């Protein structure tokens, strides 16, 4: 017996959407004054009048999701994340900025400071220095706890500026002057930093130091000096930016340029090719206008967008952004490699999802 019309509609998928609705679902259309179709269409019943189910499907997600790494070094990672919702991309971005633990200077005990910088400003500058310390070796320090070898790393800073003939020595105090104290505080009665044992032989601990030795802390004149102890603890960026492991983590939508008109005047074609060479070109045989890969010519996209306020241009080409294709960039402060940060962000996101699932 042949299937009824309603049964046929029930079998329709997103691939059966009309072209204009498919574009609204998958792309942002860019314009000079405003962008169109910026919302993500996630409601399961949004296409129900057409007999199409828009429910999220785990199997389809696994088949479509893809990551392409474009750039990776010790400081920066750029990759493309394809086939996921903006909420996932933004969740990863926020986790990278605020929820991956690192170690930073939290308490500064100043013995002597005759520099021009006030004590509180000096302490703030010290706190923002990224430290090459694996946070996994330390335990979280609770507010009521005192400093010990398991939850605190201690640095000493003791610099005096003086003259030596015609030269001035130690006129610049930098992060390279920080000295690690593996045995704990040199003034434990004042700081409360008593260690039961030294940290030199702690498993997994290499000598703590600043990520960069040339970060300027203060400038001194002959006779001025700075003497202090800096106590470092674990923390997260949600509490203070000094614990954020990234200089920045951000993403943008993948760009696309589309020719939407068959017959285009030679003047318009020549203008587009002249304005955005490489992005636009003539077909070798037909001479018609063709669009190249927008990702390879991003320096021209803003010029094209500004041209779209003219009818003769906007009727021929479209500047689009793919809603589910993200170009993600992670710039590490140097504490941890960016690929390690990304994996940790995924683990944290996975734990959050599991916690939610357990409470359902």
| In a shared domain, residues 236 and 106 | yes
* Dihedral (Cα; 273, 277, 278, 279), 10-degree rounding: -60
- 96 and 131 co-located in one domain: no
On whether residue 93 sits in a domain, the answer given is: yes
In this structure, is the dihedral angle defined by the CA atoms of residues 41, 46, 47 and 53, taken in order, positive or negative? positive
**Domain match, 130 and 194 both:** yes
Let me know whether 215 and 260 are in one domain.
no
Residue 235, pLDDT score: 96
Q: Residue 194 belongs to what domain range?
A: 102-240
Task: Verify that 195 and 274 share a domain, yes or no.
Answer: no
Do residues 138 and 220 share a domain? Answer: yes
Both 227 and 178 in a single domain? yes
Q: Which of 305, 281, 301 is nearest to 291 (CA)?
A: 281
From CA 124, how far away is CA 283, in angstroms rounded? 60
Is 49 strand, coil or helix?
helix
**In this structure, what are the phi and psi dihedrals at residue 129, rounded to the nearest 5 degrees?**
-75, 120
Q: Which residues of the chain have pLDDT under 70?
A: 1-11
217 shares a domain with 125? yes
Judge whether 7 lies within some domain.
no
Query: What are the counts of helices (DSSP H) followed by strands (DSSP E) for the chain?
Result: 10, 15
Dihedral angle, C-alpha 263, 266, 271, 273, nearest 10 °: 80
Give me the pLDDT at residue 204, please.
Answer: 74
Residue recorded with tokens 């030294």: 198
Torsion of CA 212, 242, 220, 184, to 10 degrees: -80
Number of domains in the chain: 2
Of the three residues 174, 209, 240, the one that is the final residue of a domain is 240
Cα 94 to Cα 295: distance, rounded to the nearest angstrom? 25
Q: Are residues 30 and 61 in the same domain?
A: yes
Note whether residue 31 is domain-resident.
Answer: yes
Give CA separation, 65 vs 59, 68, 239, 244, 320, in Å: 10, 10, 33, 28, 20
Confidence (pLDDT) at 9? 46
CB neighbour list of residue 321: distance below 8 Å, 6 or more residues apart: 27, 28, 30, 35, 253, 254, 255, 256
Domain final residue pick, 189, 209, 240: 240
Q: Is residue 80 in a domain?
A: yes
By the 8 A CB rule, do 199 and 153 touch?
yes
Domain identity same for 233 and 253: no
Q: How many residues does the chain have?
A: 360
Which H or E element spans position 345?
Answer: helix 338-359
Q: Residue 98: what are its φ and ψ, rounded to 5°?
A: -120, -10
- Helices 338-359 and 86-98, axial angle in degrees (round to 10): 110
Residue 351 within a domain: yes
For the purposes of burial, counting CB atoms within 10 Å of the CB of 231, is it exposed (0-12), middle (13-18) or buried (19 or more)? buried
Q: What is the DSSP letter of 272?
A: H
Look at residues 185, 216, 240 and tell me which one is the last residue of a structural domain. Answer: 240
Residue 11 falls within a domain, yes or no?
no
User: Has residue 328 been placed in a domain?
Assistant: yes
CATH number at residue 300: 3.30.1360.10
Supply 206's token pair: 């290499």
- pLDDT at residue number 11: 66
pLDDT given at position 4:
53
- The pLDDT, as a whole number, for residue 325 is 97
CB 86 within 8 A of CB 76: no
Nearest-5° Cα angle at 129, 124 to 130: 140
State pTM to two decimals: 0.87
Q: What is the CATH number of the domain that holds 122?
A: 2.170.120.12
Residues 110, 230, single domain; the answer is yes
Clarify whether residues 231 and 106 are in a common domain: yes
Q: Does any domain span residue 199?
A: yes
């Amino acid at each position: 017996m042949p299937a009824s019309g309603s049964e046929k509609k029930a079998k329709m998928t997103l691939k059966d959407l009309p072209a204009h609705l498919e574009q609204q679902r998958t792309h942002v259309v860019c314009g000079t004054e405003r962008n169109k179709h910026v919302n993500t269409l996630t409601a399961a019943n949004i296409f129900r009048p057409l007999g199409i189910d828009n429910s999220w499907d785990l199997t389809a997600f696994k088949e479509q999701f893809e990551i392409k790494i474009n750039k990776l070094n010790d400081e920066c990672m750029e990759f493309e994340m394809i086939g996921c919702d903006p909420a996932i991309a933004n969740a990863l971005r926020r986790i990278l900025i605020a929820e991956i633990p690192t170690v930073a200077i939290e308490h500064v005990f100043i013995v002597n400071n005759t520099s021009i910088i006030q004590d509180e400003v000096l302490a703030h500058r010290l706190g923002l220095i990224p430290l090459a310390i694996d946070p996994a070796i330390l335990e979280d320090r609770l507010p009521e706890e005192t400093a010990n070898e398991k939850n605190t790393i201690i640095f000493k800073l003791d610099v005096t500026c003086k003259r030596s003939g015609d030269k001035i020595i130690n006129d610049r105090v930098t992060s390279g002057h920080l000295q690690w104290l593996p045995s704990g505080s040199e003034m434990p009665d004042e700081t409360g930093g008593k260690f039961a044992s030294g940290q030199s032989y702690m498993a997994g601990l290499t000598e703590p130091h600043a990520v960069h030795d040339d970060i300027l802390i203060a400038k001194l004149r002959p006779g001025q000096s700075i003497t202090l102890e800096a106590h470092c603890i674990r923390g997260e960026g949600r509490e203070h930016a000094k614990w954020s492991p990234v200089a920045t983590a951000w993403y943008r939508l993948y760009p696309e340029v589309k020719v939407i008109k068959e017959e285009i005047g030679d003047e318009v074609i020549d203008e587009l090719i002249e304005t955005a060479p490489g992005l636009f070109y003539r077909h070798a045989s037909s001479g018609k206008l063709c669009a190249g890969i927008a990702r390879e010519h991003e320096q021209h996209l803003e010029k094209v967008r500004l041209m779209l306020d003219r009818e003769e241009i906007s009727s021929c080409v479209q500047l689009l952004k793919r809603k589910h294709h993200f170009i993600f960039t992670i710039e590490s402060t140097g504490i941890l490699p960016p690929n390690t940060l990304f994996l940790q962000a995924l683990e944290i996101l996975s734990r959050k999802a599991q916690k939610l699932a357990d409470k359902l």
